[in-house]
Amino acid sequence: MKPFRIIKLSAFALILLTGLLLPSRLHAADVSVSAELSHPQISQGEMAELQIKVSGAQQADVPQQIQVNGLQIRLTGQSTQVQMVNFKVTSSVVYSYIVMPLRTGNFTIPGVTVMADGRQFRTAELSFSVDDSRMASNPPPPSSSQMALPPGIPMPGFQQQRARPVQQQPDEGKLVFGEIHCPKKTLYAGEMTPVEIRYYFDARYPVQVRGRVDFGCEGILVERFPDPKQTREDRDGITYNVLTFHSLLSAVKPGSLDVAPAKLDCEIEIPGGLPPGFDDPVFRQLMGGQPGISQSKQVTVKTSGLHLEVLPLPKEGRPESFAGAVGEFDIDSIVSNPHPAAGDPANLVVKIGGRGNFKGMGAPVLTQTEGWRSYPPNDKFDSSDELSYTGVKSFDFTLIAQQAQKESPGCEFSYFDPTTAKYVTLTSKPLPLVASPGGAPTVDSGTGATPSSPPPSNSTGQNSTKNVPAKEGEPLPGITLRSWTTPMQRSEFLIATLAMFVATAALAGMLAYWKIQSQGGTAASRRRKQIAELRSLLIGGSVDAGASYEAALEYTELVLPPSEKRDDLLSGLTARRDLLKYGSGASLPLPALEHRDLLESLNLTPSSPKAP
């Protein structure tokens, strides 16, 4: 076997083996779940970060909110890490929650149930306290909270264009370096600010990036990095390939914060010298002109550190409806169904647009809710950039009228504007709609008059189109009976389906029959009919000689099977017809004798049996 073929087969076998082993290694990984608070004790006005780390899984189901009286804990994001060390693949996912205190006191954050890899896990309870006194801001302990790159970023695969290695030894300081740009060095807790990390790689040396950007520290949240941009840039006469990462950074806890440099591991091929005794022109010639044996070098590219001053959100002037939004926003609202049927819910969609911490913001507060029952809204965020910094977040409130209504509730949304360092409250006015509770007649949309008589009691459920409780937690009136099985599991539905099959088939059959009838029946019946007509025409002798022979020809072709006798007969009839046609006797009646002979040649007599 040729060596090249052996190498190819070995490579294929290796890839196959890796493909088979990797998933099993992933599945075989043990799943563990842990929860950790960035700060177990904070002052009011500050926020903490709760991280739930699921090791051994790439995806898990966690609650969006964690209910603790006096705290608002909302899921803000997740990051996934997949690592392969010595062919052992480990993956983990970290879910980050913002913990915002609503009052002072000692709290216990309950264990959180996490579904991962089809199994159920529960984290340990955590103690958390919020005090009123403004504590001195201690610098957070240095740690390396790694930000995982999203799948698809060509980091491990990023390979600088194969450059021709140069002979001279490079200056390592200029070979690779990183820079970090953060436009704001002073920001408020919860405020998001863009951050740009740039890594420069000398274009003359082949580079392969291995790993992820390692950036962050305790006390800050860094959004996941989208795909980096690759550009070229000249600096000090050297051409660099530049990888630029954009992300958003937000601080959780007020105080001075020193963020560690953003690191990136890579491997660079650096030209090395020749071994002693080989450094001569002859050996260089043998190596194809290569300056020496290149060597791979593991390098960690670092940016400079980042110092941030994080200010607390002011307590003064904080509106009641403030729920953690920091940025610049505007408000808009619409009623998606302004004329719901009696008892049906109306939907008020409040849209908060602008830029800021959309993930950490709470829902707007409804105002003028008298006579309405509302449910916690569903929210949806449509980002207009890849960092989710700008966009529109829609809160869809489901409202059920408890009395006849002509207007929806209003809405109030407060945020902190870091530019002016003030709280801003936005309001949206009630919108016109026509809604009424179940069982009650709708408000006259023309006059707006409500019925003078009270709505009939729906305690029996007879008048209710939708069962809604009068208040949250109140029992539902009325009874509606429903089956415990799906229609597909019920015999009546299957019988109805079968009946439809039969009806469709019957309709098809009926239409086919009508169509055949309208076309004069089937081909056989049409043939029989035609033979009978020709027979009666020929026997009757009421047509002229030319037409008689035409009919005789047609009759012969229809009745007699192909044979020599038939051919002879046809040629005889054709000759006679042509003679009559080109003579002058075609329009004359056929003489009686010739008529008789014609009938005899066709085996036709007035009493002859019908043709087949």
Q: Do 36 and 92 contact (CB within 8 A), yes or no?
A: no
d(CA 109, CA 125): 6
User: CA-CA distance, 239 to 28, in Å (whole number)?
Assistant: 46
Nearer to another protein, 67 or 295 (CB): 67
Instruction: Tell me if 219 sits within 8 A of 253, measured CB to CB.
Output: yes
- Tell which positions 474-513 bind another protein, by CB under 8 A: 474-490, 492-493, 495-497, 500, 503-504, 507-508, 511-512
Nearer Cβ to another protein, position 166 or 495?
495
Of the ranges 108-116, 225-233, 362-370, 407-415, which one interacts with another protein (CB under 8 A)? 108-116
Interface residue with another protein, options 48, 468, 545, 551 (CB under 8 A): 468
Closest approach of Cβ 66 to another protein, in Å? Answer: 8
CB 398 to another protein: min, Å = 6
Q: How far is the CB of 51 from another protein (least distance, A)?
A: 17
Cβ 231 to another protein shortest distance, Å:
41
Instruction: Using the Cα atoms of residue 517, residue 523, residue 525 and residue 527 in order, give the sign of their dihedral.
Output: positive
Phi, psi of 192 (to 5 degrees): -100, 135
Of the pair 283, 493, the CB lying nearest another protein is at 493
Contact 264, 306 (CB under 8 A): no
Closest CB to another protein among residues 29, 586 = 29
**Tokens matching residue 224:** 């996941």
Measured from the CB atom, is 489 or 608 closer to another protein? Answer: 489
Query: What is the nearest approach in angstroms of another protein to the Cβ of residue 347?
Result: 10
Closer CB to another protein, 68 or 311, in the complex = 68
Query: CB 519 → another protein: shortest distance, Å?
Result: 10
Q: How far apart are CA 468 and CA 186, in angstroms?
A: 51
Tokens of 332: 């808009």
Rounded CA separation 66/73 (Å): 5
Distance CA 63, CA 317 (A): 32
Q: Which amino acid is at 226?
A: P
Q: Which is closer to another protein, CB of 293 or CB of 506?
A: 506
Out of 5, 472, 584, 606, which residue is the one contacting another protein (CB under 8 A)?
472
Contacts (CB under 8 A) with another protein, residues 114-153: 114-115, 117-120, 122
Burial of 377-399, coded b for 16+ CB within 10 Å and e otherwise, reads bebeeeeeeebbbebbbbbbbeb
Can you tell me which of 111, 371, 391, 455 binds another protein, judged by CB under 8 A? Answer: 111
What is the token pair recorded at 300? 């960690």
348 and 429 Cβ atoms separated by less than 8 Å: no
Nearer to another protein among residue 176 and residue 346 (C-beta)? 346
CA distance 206 to 186: 39
C-alpha 543/C-alpha 537 separation (Å) is 8
The Cα–Cα gap between 414 and 183 comes to 25
d(CA 242, CA 496): 68
Query: Do residues 194 and 183 make contact, with C-beta atoms less than 8 angstroms apart?
Result: yes
3-class secondary structure, 351 = strand
- Asked if 463 is part of the footprint of another protein (rule: CB under 8 A), the reply reads no
Task: Give, as ranges, the residues between 42 and 81 that touch another protein (CB under 8 A).
Answer: 61-63, 65, 67
Backbone dihedral angles phi then psi of residue 376, each to the nearest 5 degrees: -55, 135
d(CA 81, CA 58): 8
Min dist CB 340 to another protein, Å, is 13
| Residue 461 engages another protein in binding (rule: CB under 8 A) | yes
The reply to whether 517 sits near another protein by the rule CB under 8 A is no
What is the chain's Cα-based Rg? 44
What is the closest distance, in whole angstroms, from the C-beta atom of residue 388 to another protein in the complex? 20
Which of 317/469 has CB closer to another protein?
469
CA angle 342, 347, 349 (to 5 degrees): 160
Query: Could you say which of 2, 315, 515, 610 contacts another protein (CB under 8 A)?
Result: 515
Which CB atom, from 373 or from 577, has the smaller least distance to another protein? Answer: 373
Binding another protein by CB under 8 A: which of 473, 562, 606, 609?
473
Minimum Å distance from CB 152 to another protein?
Answer: 23
Residues 349-388 that bind another protein (CB under 8 A): 375-376
Size of the residue set binding another protein (CB under 8 A):
61
Closest approach of Cβ 27 to another protein, in Å? 6
Q: Name the site residues for another protein (rule: CB under 8 A).
A: 27, 61-63, 65, 67, 110-115, 117-120, 122, 345, 375-376, 398, 459-462, 467-469, 472-490, 492-493, 495-497, 500, 503-504, 507-508, 511-512, 514-515
